[in-house]
Structure 1
Amino acid sequence: MKRFDIYEHSVYGMRAVNRGINWPAFFFCWIWAMVKKMWAVGFSLLGLLVLFVMIEEFFFYYANMGGIYFMWAMQLALFLYAGAKGNDWRRGYLRKCGFQYIANIEAANPDAAMTAAKQPVNEDAQEGTTKG
Structure 2
Amino acid sequence: MKQYKIFTHPSGQQEAVKQGWSWPGFCFGGFWALVKKIWGMAALILIGGFSIGFLLGFIMPPETANLVTNIIALGIAIAIGVNGNQWREQNLLTRGFQTDGQIVEAKNPDGAVAEFLGGETSVTA
Change in 2 beyond 3 A, CA 1:12/1:119:
closer
TM-score of the superposition, structure 1-length normalised?
Answer: 0.81
Q: Per-residue displacement from partner, 1:61-87 (whole Å, max 9, x unpaired)? A: x53644432221111101111111110
Structure 1: gaps spanning 5 or more residues: 127-132
The corresponding residue for 1:86 is 84
Q: Which has the larger radius of gyration?
A: 1
**What fraction of aligned residue pairs are identical, expressed as a percent?**
29
Cα separation, 2, equivalents of 1:50 and 1:64: 15
Q: CA RMSD in A?
A: 2.1
Q: Is residue 2:42 matched to residue 1:42?
A: yes
Change in 2 beyond 3 A, CA 1:53/1:87:
same
Q: Per-residue displacement from partner, 1:48-72 (whole Å, max 9, x unpaired)? A: 201221134225xx53644432221
Q: Per-residue displacement from partner, 1:94-125 (whole Å, max 9, x unpaired)? A: 01111111411111111111111112369xxx
C-alpha contact 2:53 2:65 (8 A) present in aligned 1: no
- SS of 1:15's partner is strand
Cα separation, 1, equivalents of 2:120 and 2:27: 37
The number of residues matched between the two structures is 121
